[in-house]
Amino acid sequence: MGRFVLVNLWAKKGRSFGITLAVALAVMTVVTLAAVSNGLKNSATQVLEISKSDFTVAQKAAPDILNSTIDSHQLAEIRATRGVASAIGVLLETQDLNAANPLFIEIGIQPGDLRRFGVTMVAGRPYAADASHEVMLGWRAAQNWGLRVGDIFHANGTWNRVVGIYSTGISYGDLGAMFPLPALQAYNRVPGALTLIFVKVTPGDSVAKVAAAVDYNHPELTTIRTASQFGRADRNLVFLGAAATGSTVLAILIGAIIVGNTMLLSLFERTREFGVLRAVGWSRSRLVALVGSEILVLAVAGSMLGIGFSFAAAAVLEILPPLRGVLHSDFTTVGFLRGLYTGIGMAVIGALYPALRAAHLTPLRALTHE
Amino acid sequence: MSDDVVDPAPRARPIIECRGVEKVYEDGSVHALRGLDLEVAPGELLAITGPSGCGKSTLLHLLAALDTPTAGSIRVGEYDLARLRRPDHYRREEVGLVFQLHNLMPQLSAVGNVEVVMVGTHRRRRDRAARARELLAAVDLLPLADRRPPQLSGGERQRVAIARALANDPRVLLADEPTGSLDSDSVRTVLGVFERLRDDLGVTVVLVTHDESVARIADRTVEMLDGRVRHPDGEVEAPEVRGPSALPLGR
């Protein structure tokens, strides 16, 4: 039957192409959204990975993790929590330096916390705690800007001398710059404010219990131990994930309507053909298998095409001015599978009714169909 | 053997037996068959003639299990059509159908049109293709086997349709006005094929036709009128029963 299926599809090239394209566009939307969502999530979770902490504390349900606001008193209270070995308060800000760096990451951290935060000096020295106009650049940022120790780096509306080059081992951190905490707070007019607190638990103590204690004592804050808990602090990612799921469902429904409509038209065109097949002894199930196989071939072809399209779509999104340097699409097997089941799902749902109608045509009525 | 098979009948029995067949269409307005009785012997070439609306095509549809009788009984071979549970199996195994309009699939070649009937049978793909070419050779169309229907003449298309009808070795071939849309040359060729089927393969052929030339090649012609078989003497005519065919279509 395979050859018959292919011959039928080839015989109606326009219809086959239309269905394939509909599937491809739906799959492209779903896979691209999944890749974008993953990319943004990765970027965000990398913030947490810069430190090698046991858990991170952020403001609960902030629209974006970079908008989390914690004050220094809360840092002191968390440091005093039983089982907490160290708690590092960090201010994270972004600067629009130029078109290529619209969201340059700046980290405000006390020099005494650098080692525990996982920072290794590659060149130069750490800045002084109360220094103004001193900055450390991540080695990737220094490379991108072509700056070395002693050079001047302009940011936050002022000049800053590069006193050191550092590495965190996380590309997100190494693409940014570190400033003395009070200096960055002053530049951004948020004295005493922190974005995140990175907590290390005393060896032997339970991370879960200490995190639970922080959650209990600070209902306005939330603890994050895994990437999956990220949504507690970053509502945008939750919304993005929901949008990705919603778009999958919508793509399946809209695609199914398009496929179903096209298949139904095709059914009317092929009524006589189906009647002949039934008259020469084809069973209903064989006819359903024929229609099902045809749509399955188109669904798989459309899904493959859609996955190909999604690479192009993601590449275009990555170079759009508002997203340049921010969006790094992350294509995962899960994203591809989601695309595949979207394609197959819309095709199967769309073809179900036409296939059943074809199967229930009486051969005599089908043969006399004009 | 199929679930639909009743008692295996001796070969001397008529291969088709219709008893008191009635067909009233659903809305009750048309009484197409009125107590029709008919027997067809194995290997017989029977022509059914009659004016339009006399019930010829209805009878053929009933014999092909494309429709069901309102009353009466129809037996074809070992199948009781009134108790048929798998009509698709019956149509695949027992009868071959030839339509007035050939109803070939334009996207398939001649050989593909014959082969598609065998999809889902015990035959392997290679065997199906070989069988399809063998049948096209039997209707003198092997050189045109790879052409598609639009590239064939009316008579050639009808011969492909006959080859298709024979694909699964049916014992009975049912043809509805097979020469109705053909020119006289094509009619002669197609009728020659039907004769060869009867003479060489022993296939029982039932032809519904308006064409008098068809009646000339038939072993017997019955005329239908108002849903009944009309006999010249007004009595039921017992058909001549032939012996087993020398070429029983590979069964």
Give pLDDT, residue B251: 33
Share of chain B above pLDDT 90, in %: 32
> How many degrees, rounded to 5, is the angle at CA A271 between CA A267 and CA A273?
115
Give pLDDT, residue B17: 93
**In B53-210, where do the E strands start and end?**
71-76, 79-80, 95-98, 172-176, 204-208
Give pLDDT, residue A167: 93
Inter-chain touch B117–A280, beta carbons under 8 Å = yes
- Cα separation, B38 vs B28, in Å, equals 24
Which chain B positions have a beta carbon within 8 Å of A280's beta carbon?
Answer: 91-92, 96-97, 117, 164-165, 167
Strands B172-176 and B95-98: parallel
List, in sequence order, every residue forming a beta bridge with A55; answer none if it has no partner.
A199
Contact assessment for residue A114 and residue A126, using Cβ atoms and an 8 Å cutoff: yes
Q: What is the pLDDT of residues B22-47, one digit of tens each?
A: 999 877 778 889 999 999 999 999 99
Domain ranges within chain A, ordered by starting residue: 2-42+238-367, 55-224
The residue with greater pLDDT, A234 or B16, is: B16
Q: Does A145 touch chain B (CB under 8 A)?
A: no
State the smallest CA–CA distance between residue A1 and chain B in angstroms.
Answer: 6
Name the token pair of A45.
């979770």
Q: What is the pLDDT of residues B193-221, one digit of tens each?
A: 888 888 888 889 999 988 777 878 889 99
Q: What is the pLDDT of residues A208-219, one digit of tens each?
A: 999 999 999 999
Nearest CA in chain B to A284: B88
Interface test with A, best of B116, B117, B174 (most A CBs within 10 A): B116
pLDDT at A338 over 90: no
- Give the H or E element holding residue A59: strand A55-59
Q: Does A284 touch chain B (CB under 8 A)?
A: yes
List, in sequence order, every residue forming a beta bridge with B44; answer none if it has no partner.
none
Name the token pair of B23.
């067909």
- Cα separation, A44 vs B110, in Å, equals 63
Which chain B positions have a beta carbon within 8 Å of A13's beta carbon?
Answer: none
Task: Average the pLDDT over B111-116 and give the result.
Answer: 92
Interface test with A, best of B57, B107, B122 (most A CBs within 10 A): B107
Q: Could you give the 3-state DSSP secondary structure of residue B180?
A: coil
Inter-chain touch A364–B67, beta carbons under 8 Å = yes
The interface predicted TM-score (ipTM) is 0.81
Taking any CB pair shorter than 8 Å as contact, residues of chain B touching chain A are: 61, 64, 66-67, 86, 88-93, 96-97, 99, 103, 105-108, 112, 116-117, 119-120, 164-165, 167-168
Nearest CA in chain A to B117: A280
Nearest CA in chain B to A272: B103
